[in-house]
Amino acid sequence: MSSAEALPAYKRDLISLTLSSNILTFGSFTLKSGRISPYFFNCGLFSKGKLIRGISEAYARTVAEYCSAHPEFEFDVLFGPAYKGIPLCATTAEKLAGIDEAKYGDLGFVYNRKEVKDHGEGGLMVGESLKGKKVVVIDDVMTAGTAIREAISIIKSQGGELVGIIVALDRQEKTPSEGEKQGKPDDGSDRPSTIGQVRQETGVPVLAVLTLDDVIEGVKGQATEEQLKAMEDYKKKYGASS
């Protein structure tokens, strides 16, 4: 059995879906950090029915598998930060209910407004109340961690308790060095990823539907040897310590 075949079916299916829809592409992409990445994963393109179905099913499977392996892990609400988290929290809640109606049928979901509404139902939040609830944040990616930290602040202000975070992709990439922030090359030191930092700061599990390792294994037979080597070299250069 190849490594790609060893991946769960939902991960293989998602990787194939992202390739066929150009959500996952190969080339030369300049990131906000200034690094030149040989691949790009554009979560903004999950904008068709079959695509949002594919990613939400993968989110749901990831959560359900974690809960099965950690029966002590419990949560009441999925919180999707505006804007990309809004469709994710709704569709993933529906897919979880489809996996296990008894366990997840009453799972709530909620999202925030960018601007507080002062008419109609008003307020900052739309959906389930967070007060006294155990909350999992669901979002697309975690770059600098700013959006996740804002989401955590909202949860606290609404009386909820953060118990977990899930994102679509963990690039397994260390945070930029001080030199990189000034336009200089990486100094080669070991550093955690943004996900690793947030995991340490919050003390809660931070899950990812896919990791760079998953992507590398999953595209074997679909990507060229040159594309695979470029991703492997990139990970060797920028791979995070945690």
Catalytic residues: 117, 119
Query: Are 11 and 209 spatial neighbours (Cβ–Cβ below 8 Å)?
Result: yes
Cβ partners under 8 Å of residue 25, min gap 6? 39, 40, 42
Cβ partners under 8 Å of residue 231, min gap 6? 38, 39, 212, 215, 216
Cβ partners under 8 Å of residue 207, min gap 6? 62, 63, 66, 164, 165, 166, 167
Q: What is the DSSP string of 84-149?
A: THHHHHHHHHHHHHHH-HHHHTT-EEEEEEEEEE-STT-EEEEES--TT-EEEEE-S--SSSHHHH
CA dist., res. 180 & res. 22, Å (int): 29
Q: How many CB atoms lie within 10 A of CB 125?
A: 19
3-state secondary structure of 206: strand
In sequence order, what are the beta bridge partners of 39? 26
In sequence order, what are the beta bridge partners of 207? 166
Q: How many CA atoms, within 13 angstroms, populate the side-chain half-sphere of residue 214?
A: 22
C-alpha 125: how far from chain center: 21
